Copies of this chain bind each other. A is one copy, B any other.
Amino acid sequence: MDRVVIIGLGLIGGSLGLALKGAKIKDIEVIGVDVERDAVVAAQRKGAVDRVERPAEKAVASANMVIVATPILAVRDVFATIGDALPAGCVVTDTASTKAHIMRWAEEFLPPHVHFVGGHPMAGKERPGIQGAEASLFRDAAYCIVPSARASQAAVETVVGLAQTVGSTPYFVDAEEHDMMVAGVSHLPLVLASALVAVTTRSPSWREMSKLASSGFRDTSRLASTDIALSTGIAGTNQAGLIRWIDGCIEVLKEYRDLIAQDSKAMQARFDEAWEARERWLVNQKEPPRDKAMAEVPSTADRINEMLFGNLWEKLRRREQQLLDRDGKGRQEREQDR
């Protein structure tokens, strides 16, 4: 029986649990951990986990895979807490929205005998919590995979298998590059939505204006309702990315402002460009990805499940055993060092 431990039973952790259990993989057990009793009860009620356990150190002690799905700023503490309890060969991944800090924390707090592979499924909802969790949340989404220097090929493929099992497309990327890219497509939208709400609601006219705000305002401001733990975590761990894109956006807004003041024809060309660029994006979204990074993996669920959650873990375990045998009593010595 392979044990997958999910730490943090919120929207992402809960949805991963539902998707994993929905995939009906043979001989795996999904174990949930959360500090909040409500989340634990709801996860069990929804069937997102086979059982719950606490504390985290105990739950991970015999885990094959640990998925840390807590808020970003809590990941550091979770790594520090579980580090010493993780068994040799365990594959550890996370789901946080930024990756550079996470990779540093993994390096700092996780023992060398585990395989850390950073992860970031590009899916979500503005409402946090297990209540909104659903097995289909990750379907057709990109799933960023950021292997640590020490992660084995087999561990990386296990996380690729996780991504594919939940219906996502694995996307390999470097941590710094990830943070700069998601700052543009994911964190800048959050900042713009919040700025739109701030500038309008701070106005003395807001009381009247609010009655005229309609679906355009609702959609453009939607991300301002992002869970505060998430937005704060992003601001705290992706400063460089946010600043680069906010500055870029201010430049575009200044350009638009000057064009509108001078000549509405010139502004028409800008609206046209944005219109066309978004159309192209929407069209590409619908087409199957034809990309090396996205194409190196098997495509049917059966193959994935068998290969990555069956044979692969077997292979992984054998390889770990070889390494342990070669290293002598590495693990035992480490435990005595505690």
A291 part of interface (Cβ distance < 8 Å) = yes
A106 to chain B, nearest CB (A): 21
> What residues of chain B lie closer than 8 Å to A299, measured between beta carbons?
none
A264 is an interface residue with CB less than 8 A from chain B: yes
Q: Does A199 contact B (CB under 8 A)?
A: yes
In the complex, residue of chain B having the shortest beta-carbon distance to the beta carbon of A258: B243
Q: Is the CB of A208 within 8 A of B181?
A: yes
On chain B, the residues within 8 Å of A180 by CB distance are 205
Which residue of B is nearest A272, CB measured?
A: B228
> Contact at B185–A200, with CB atoms within 8 Å?
yes
A184/B197 in contact, CB under 8 A: no
State A133–B177 Cα separation when bound (angstroms): 43
Interface size for A (C-beta < 8 A) is 92
What's the minimum C-beta distance from A295 to chain B, rounded to whole angstroms?
Answer: 12
User: Which label, helix, strand, loop or mixed, suits the secondary structure of the A interface?
Assistant: helix
Is the C-beta of A254 less than 8 angstroms from some C-beta in chain B?
yes
Q: Which of B197, B223, B267, B279 is close to A277, meaning CB atoms less than 8 Å apart?
A: B197
A275 and B210 form a contact (CB under 8 A) = no
Among A6-14, A232-240, A309-317, A327-335, the stretch that binds chain B is A232-240
Q: Which residues of B contact A289 (CB under 8 A)?
A: 211
- A212 an interface residue at 8 Å Cβ cutoff? yes
C-alpha gap A184/B212 in the complex (Å): 10
- B-facing mask of A184-199, CB < 8 A → 1, else 0? 1110111111111111
Question: Given A235-B268, A252-B195, A272-B228, is A215 in contact with B124 using a C-beta cutoff of 8 Å?
Answer: yes
Count copies of this chain in the complex. 2
For A284, list chain B residues within 8 Å (CB): 210
Does the CB pair A197–B243 fall under 8 Å? no
Q: Which of B173, B219, B261, B268 contacts A232 (CB 8 A)?
A: B268
Q: Does A74 contact B (CB under 8 A)?
A: no
Whole-angstrom CA separation of A252 from B270 in the bound complex: 23
- A220 and B235 contact, CB distance less than 8 A: no
Which residues from B are CB-within-8-Å of A260? 235, 239, 242-243, 246
Q: Is there contact, CB below 8 Å, between A232 and B267?
A: yes
- Shortest C-beta distance, A189 to chain B (Å), equals 4
Q: How far is the CA of A224 from the CA of B280 in the complex (A)?
A: 12
